[in-house]
């Protein structure tokens, strides 16, 4: 893969004001793939200037024209789908088939879903003697994570552009290569120069410059809760709007009438998707104590069926974690689970057999996990499932809500009405009932320390709008 020597600002590829570069490492081989510019604050200044210059012409572009541009971006992604999937698989370690279906497929769907912009914008309305209207919030700074690198850029950029905003994007320095391909596609789609700008670099430099910049009207951030708090602190200095999609410790409540042969494998898959590197991973499986042994048996069988290996090898179901740092962090959590008294059913902190190179972690399942344990409270971001037993539905709900997070959850029951009733009582922004597939048009986001705001569909567009009252 080629080194990237320039950032994208004002519709042109330009040199960074800094001279350093950041290596992008293949987590399967532990070898450098390419380098990207290590941007500096001056690059953010230049990108914000370009975005402000483009704001009036882009926001004045008729919605149907903006929508046509977004449709062309979706088409461009589809044309380069194979190339993009390979890039994400290589820089992140996601198995190629999953990279194509999820990492790239969801990004295509996101841009395509924003094409009918007119249908996504809230209509003006008369209240009393006032006219209530909606206008773009302005210049948006988008700071995105490495675990779903392309999709997370897409949900921010597509919605912001649909709303009439302009954007300055900082992709994760861990997996930034897909963002450069997207910039090429956006350029080819004929978006107004300066409406989309890309500055690579680190969070402490480029990310903080974006969050604190007085010329940026809103920051949309996805990442850890710790980093999100820092973004909010910096944004407060200029009283800018903030949207935060942060961590999770999602419960999966298996009720006593659930079909275990469906619920348990699906729950394991949710916990291990993307090697567990997903904020919405259902990493706590809550099960009736009377069914615990059967659940343990099914969970172990499912976990041990995962084939680890090269993301490009046929049959690989789980790739490596993204970095050595992430692997070390996950292994430390597994050790803490053992030390605090959880019962290790399968997996563990040792490297997987036969994989001496790459940042691989064994798919790990614990049982006898209680709420005071570290692995029940902190986001691990790796393939670690905690099985927690309960004795009543009320206790299950208490355990489910006993966390500072509130992003996602699952509920399983043979009675859909019961599942819905329980789901309503779990304090999260998103609940999956009986394994229902993810809906990209429905709002996604969290409460408590999982964040502020919503993404996807018209709800995502509305995040980038300001309400204005004209008294007549």
Q: Looking at the annotation, which residues are catalytic?
A: 245, 279
- Residue 391: count other Cβ atoms within 10 Å of its Cβ: 10
Residue 436, classified by CB atoms within 10 Å of its CB into exposed (0-12), middle (13-18) or buried (19+), is exposed
The DSSP element (H or E) to which 150 belongs, if any, is: helix 149-163
Q: How many CB atoms lie within 10 A of CB 394?
A: 10
Q: What separation in angstroms does the CA of 269 have from each of 116, 193, 198, 261, 315? A: 33, 42, 34, 13, 16
Q: Is 125 exposed, middle or buried (CB count within 10 Å of its CB: 0-12, 13-18, 19+)?
A: exposed
140: alpha, beta or left? (left if phi > 0; alpha if psi -120 to 50): beta
Q: How many residues does the chain have?
A: 472
Burial of 121 (0-12, 13-18, 19+ CB in 10 A): middle
* CA-closest candidate to residue 188, choices 178, 200, 196: 196
Cβ atoms of 211 and 133 closer than 8 Å: no
Residues facing 245 on adjacent strands: 222, 451
Name the one residue in this structure whose structure tokens are 């008729």.
62
Q: Sort 356 into a burial class: Cβ within 10 Å, 0-12 / 13-18 / 19+.
A: exposed
In the block, which residue shows the tokens 């997070």? 405
* Of 413, 362, 322, residue with least CA distance to 89: 322
The Cα 440–Cα 454 span in angstroms is 12
The backbone region for 192, taken as left when phi is positive above 0, alpha when psi lies in -120 to 50, beta otherwise, is: beta
Report the candidate in 170, 172, 171, 154 with the shortest Cα–Cα distance to residue 162. 154
Beta strand segments in 125-170, E: 125-127, 130-136, 139-143, 166-170
Residue 130, C-beta contacts closer than 8 angstroms, at least 6 positions apart: 469, 470, 471, 472
């Amino acid at each position: 893969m080629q080194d990237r020597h320039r950032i994208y600002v004002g519709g042109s590829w330009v040199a960074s004001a800094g001279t350093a570069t950041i290596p992008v490492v293949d987590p399967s081989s532990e070898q450098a793939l390419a380098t990207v510019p290590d941007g500096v604050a001056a690059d953010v200044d230049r990108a914000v200037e370009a975005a402000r210059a483009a704001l009036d012409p882009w926001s004045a572009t008729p919605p149907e024209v903006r929508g046509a541009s977004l449709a062309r971006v979706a088409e461009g992604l589809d044309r380069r789908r194979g190339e993009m999937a390979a890039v994400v698989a290589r820089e992140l370690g996601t198995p190629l088939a999953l990279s194509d279906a999820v990492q790239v497929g969801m990004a295509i769907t996101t841009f395509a879903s924003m094409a009918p912009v007119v249908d996504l914008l809230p209509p003006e309305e008369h209240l009393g003697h006032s006219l209530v209207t909606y206008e773009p919030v302005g210049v948006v700074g988008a700071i995105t994570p490495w675990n779903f690198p392309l999709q997370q850029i897409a949900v921010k950029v597509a919605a912001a552009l649909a709303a009439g905003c302009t954007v300055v994007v900082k992709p994760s320095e861990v997996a930034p290569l897909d963002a450069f391909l997207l910039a090429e596609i956006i350029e080819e789609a004929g978006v107004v120069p300066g409406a989309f700008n890309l500055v690579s670099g680190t969070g402490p430099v480029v990310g903080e410059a974006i969050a604190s910049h007085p010329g940026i009207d809103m920051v949309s951030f996805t990442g850890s809760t710790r980093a999100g708090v820092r973004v909010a602190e910096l944004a407060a200095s200029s009283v800018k709007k903030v949207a935060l999609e942060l961590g999770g410790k999602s419960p999966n409540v298996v009720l006593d009438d659930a079909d275990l042969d469906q619920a348990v494998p699906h729950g394991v898959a949710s916990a291990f998707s993307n090697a567990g590197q997903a904020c919405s991973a259902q990493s706590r499986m809550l099960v009736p104590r009377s069914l615990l042994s059967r659940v343990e048996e099914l969970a172990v069988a499912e976990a041990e069926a995962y084939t680890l290996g090269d993301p490009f090898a046929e049959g690989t179901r789980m790739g490596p974690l993204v970095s050595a740092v992430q692997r070390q962090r996950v292994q430390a959590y597994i050790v803490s689970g053992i030390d605090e008294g959880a019962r290790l059913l399968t997996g563990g902190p040792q490297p997987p057999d036969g994989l001496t190179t790459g940042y691989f972690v064994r798919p790990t399942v614990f049982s006898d996990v209680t709420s005071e344990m570290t692995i029940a409270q902190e986001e691990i971001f790796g393939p670690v499932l905690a099985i927690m037993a309960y004795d009543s539905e009320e206790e299950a709900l208490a355990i489910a809500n006993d966390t500072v997070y509130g992003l996602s959850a699952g509920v399983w029951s043979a009675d859909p009405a019961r599942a819905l009733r329980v789901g309503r009582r779990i304090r999260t922004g998103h609940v999956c009932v009986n394994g229902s597939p993810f809906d990209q048009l429905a709002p996604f986001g969290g409460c408590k320390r999982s964040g502020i705001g919503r993404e996807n569909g018209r709800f995502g567009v509305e995040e980038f709008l300001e309400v204005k009252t004209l008294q007549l």
